[in-house]
A and B are shown apart, each in its own frame.
Chain A
Amino acid sequence: MTETEKHNYDVIVIGAGGAGLRAAIAAREAGMRVAVICKSLFGKAHTVMAEGGIAASMGNVNSNDNWQVHFRDTMRGGKFLNNWRMAELHAKEAPQRVWELETYGALFDRTVDGKISQRNFGGHEYPRLAHVGDRTGLELIRTLQQKIVSLQQDDGQGGPASDGKLKVFAECTITELLKDDGGRISGAFGYWRESGRFVLFRAPAVILATGGIGKSFKVTSNSWEYTGDGHALALRAGSTLLNMEFVQFHPTGMVWPPSVKGILVTESVRGDGGVLRNSDGKRFMFNYVPSVFRGQYAETEEEGDRWYTDPDHNKRPPELLPRDEVARAINSEVKAGRGSPHGGVFLDIASRRSAEEILRRLPSMHHQFKELADVDITSEPMEVGPTCHYVMGGVEVDPDTAAAARVPGLFAAGEVAGGMHGSNRLGGNSLSDLLVFGRRAGVGAAEYVSALGGEYPAVTDAQIDEAAKSALAPFDAAGVDASENPYTLHQELQQSMNDLVGIIRKADEMEQALKTLDDLKARAQHVAVEGHRQFNPGWHLALDLRNMLAVSECVARAALIREESRGGHTRDDFPEMSSQWRQVNLICSLQPSGSVDVVQQPMVSMREDLIGLFETDELSKYLTNEELAQLPSKEA
């Protein structure tokens, strides 16, 4: 039997970003013994990259805001494909989750009357994003990290901080979830990145909070950690993924120099007055307001400019359309030959705001461009273009408890969970999503574990041996003829996903991508790594590659099936949004053969009081005629 370090917990959380840490806090506060496991050092999770803010309808800047308005904006942004129950819970609970952060020590920017300041963002009707300059994600992660320490100090009861009941296992990668004979979660198996030694966590509940899948694409704002681990772990454990075809390409990533291509340029630049121009100097977004949003956005530059100071009497500029619309518009301008020298468009804040104001509101953007591109954004425009940023699809979950489909004891929260954002996520709704559903997952897992009454599912030695063998396969392949280099395979995967399943999609290209994926999957069987198990990035990549391949196949298969264009899924061959397809969720599962199966599952109809929040005019843009006929008539 494999010699393996073992730990016993009530709840284990995989991932230490916003969702994972908030889940761990909730589970610990519910009395659970909790382990948090993360691939990086504690406090380095991808959440630090979030810049703009946390969306919550506190109404501090405009008192007209409330959860109903936030809910409406979220559904519109997601083109009505959102799990409406998740969108409802999210809109209702976000303010409480933000205020709570202040009791953990967070220091948000303030309004003149000392409340939390809120800024404008794409798709949000009112200023809604609580923020700290343009480094809100860092504030969120540090605050939650410090709250974890605070709970450990409480557990130390006046003595030194104690990690007996809440412990972070950093630089540790989980490779498999384990289940008992009854199909319930029994634990998780992984390795220490530092030593390469194996480690087993026995626990009846696992919360996936692993983030996204961006590293399957070449141009991405995501870090190396974003290899779809949670998505793939859920699939292999027998759970399902929902609507994986929806991938958000953020409209503004850096395009130059090549080494930083894809790094995010925050939407706050536009929220604070920045505008997009093509090579003719024209603000082209006025030409790209789609019919579903017509009437909600300014039609002239003058009106758009007045909106910043008088939002009650003017409509917002189209630069603040939801991200999918802006990304497609930039793509079209570049294709039409009106792009910037390095293949993007210009994002101009220099001519619109004083240098002093830019430095105060966008300090980290100024820093990033100065240091990485030698561009001073207070005097020159930035060059920007779309970058793979976020996956709306994810583990199919119960909205209230975050329990994953089909696998008792498995939970998911944050980017790895699907449904909340529909076909397109609004900026600012991610950080609030992490907090709202991170907490719900922690509570949900604690309730599940309490109901077991101390009887925990078993892990067998054979399961451990099998997981160890699978993890060591890349070493066994070393020295064998026809062995493959994991870095090379990864680059090929990124290139084909970028080119063939990217921002604009066509059936024949996606079929080609699926062929390539099949080929890469076969070659991945022969991936070999050199050196030994101690901190070996080649080996780590070889294992992550399996996850990226499984998740990429889900994206490509679902994208080929959905014959419409909606949010983060644009079909060149089916350019229209279809009200029939709005009633359909695409559900991916893994077959015993290892291939991905996709089935259509009908969407549950929205509750009457929620659908009553929309005007019939607007609903008619999204709903089928049959659905419209069944709407309760509005009283005059």
Chain B
Amino acid sequence: MSYTAHFRVWRGDAEGGDLGDFQVEVNEGEVVLDIIHRLQATQAGDLAVRWNCKAGKCGSCSAEINGRPRLMCMTRMSTFAEDETVTVTPMRAFPVIKDLVTDVSFNYEKARQVPAFAPPKNLQPGEYRMAQVDVERSQEFRKCIECYLCQDTCHVVRDHEENKKAFAGPRFLMRIAELDMHPLDAKDRQHAAQEEFGLGFCNITKCCTEVCPEHIKITDNALIPMKERVVDRKYDPLVWLGSKIGRRPER
């Protein structure tokens, strides 16, 4: 049942680093995170890695395994051949802190820029009424565990640091879509999605959807509908006319 696997794990910090080679025991049913923990306990006590729930619910243990962005706790060792080298590297889109731990503060900054849910003014707590079918659209996006694998894989920022300022990334464009589709949110989200959060950068290659461990259809259900909403409004002749003949701001 047990065998010895060849692991290559990136070790280093902001100054630089390299892949380290390890021979490590693997038992039946284990996942990559188990092996990283075994390395910590037996060969590399100071190997840095983030993790929490070990059940795919918290989104802490994101890394790139053989080049693919994945959760270490949800990558079973049985998906590799016994003689296959398993290479584990930190997420590439974010600056390395140490070993497999990266600085993901970019995501928290973007989160703070998205205007919060605007509660309807005429309803008291307990008075909210919504149909299941209407909440389901946003509920899909609220399954997000914020592992940031979609942010990591998105080519708009993966190799283009300069785009980070103008582009919120799939996770936070989806957050905007979630609020826009919330049955009771009282705020207009569509203009900002395009102008402030860079929805236009997305050219729907669906890489984010592919790596999402929660299997959220980020592109099809959040980003494309959001693009359609923005376009509908931007190019709607009636809206355009309204904006020209409507009330103008006082001088």
Contacts and interface: CB of A to CB of B under 8 A. Distances in A.
A104 B117 contact: yes
A125 interface: no
Contacts of A133: 139
Interface in A187-214: 194
B45 A259 contact: no
Contacts of B58: 40, 44, 48-49, 223
B59 interface: yes
B196 to A, nearest CB: 12
A153 B115 contact: yes
Nearest to A487: B41
Interface residues of A, number: 71
Nearest to A116: B128
B234 interface: no
Q: How large is the interface on B (under 10, 10 to 19, 20 to 34, 35 or more residues)?
A: 35 or more
Contacts of A364: 57
Contacts of A520: none
B224 interface: no
Contacts of A112: 132
Given A110-B130, A142-B142, A531 B45 contact: yes
A283 interface: no
Contacts of B24: none
B190 interface: no
A107 B135 contact: yes
Given A114-B129, A149-B116, A372 B135 contact: no
Contact of A534 (B13, B28, B144, B215): B13
Contacts of B27: 258-259
Interface stretch (A418-426, A446-454, A535-543, A546-554): A535-543
Contact of B130 (A43, A114, A142, A259): A114
A529 B47 CA distance: 12
Contacts of B40: 487, 537-538
Contact of A105 (B48, B112, B116): B116
Main SS at interface, chain B: loop
B219 interface: no
A537 B41 CA distance: 10
Contacts, number: 178
B250 interface: no
Contact of A48 (B29, B31, B53): B53
B125 interface: yes
Interface string B71-113: 0001010000000000000000000011101001000100111
A42 B146 CA distance: 10
Interface stretch (A94-102, A400-408, A555-563, A601-609): A94-102
B68 interface: no
B45 A530 contact: yes
B48 A223 contact: no
A99 B57 contact: no
Interface in A477-506: 485-488
A48 B143 CA distance: 11
A35 interface: no
B29 A149 contact: no
A330 B21 CA distance: 44
Given A114-B130, A132-B139, A135-B143, A40 B55 contact: no
A368 B31 CA distance: 13
Contacts of A531: 45-46
B52 A223 contact: yes
A257 interface: yes
A259 B72 CA distance: 13
B60 A372 contact: no
Contacts of B51: 223-224
Given A100-B125, A110-B135, A371-B74, A260 B53 contact: no
Given A258-B28, A530-B45, A536-B46, A152 B145 contact: no
B233 interface: no
Interface string B14-26: 0000000000000
A488 B30 CA distance: 20
Nearest to B116: A150
A224 B45 contact: no
Nearest to B45: A538
A469 B237 CA distance: 71
Contacts of A135: 57, 143
Contact of B117 (A139, A146, A225, A264): A146
A260 B75 CA distance: 12
B112 A152 contact: yes
Contacts of A224: 51-52
Chain A to chain B: the 3 pairs with minimum beta-carbon distance, closest first: A257-B29, A105-B117, A531-B46
Given A99-B128, A109-B135, A372-B56, 15 more contacts: A40-B60, A41-B50, A41-B60, A43-B146, A48-B58, A107-B138, A142-B146, A223-B54, A257-B30, A259-B30, A372-B76, A487-B41, A529-B46, A537-B47, A538-B40
Interface of A: 40-44, 46, 48-49, 58, 95-96, 99-100, 102-105, 107-110, 112-115, 117, 132-133, 135, 138-139, 142, 146-147, 149-150, 152-153, 160-161, 194, 223-225, 256-260, 263-264, 364, 367-368, 371-373, 485-488, 529-532, 534-539
10 contacts: A44-B58, A107-B138, A109-B135, A110-B135, A135-B143, A138-B142, A160-B113, A223-B51, A530-B46, A536-B46
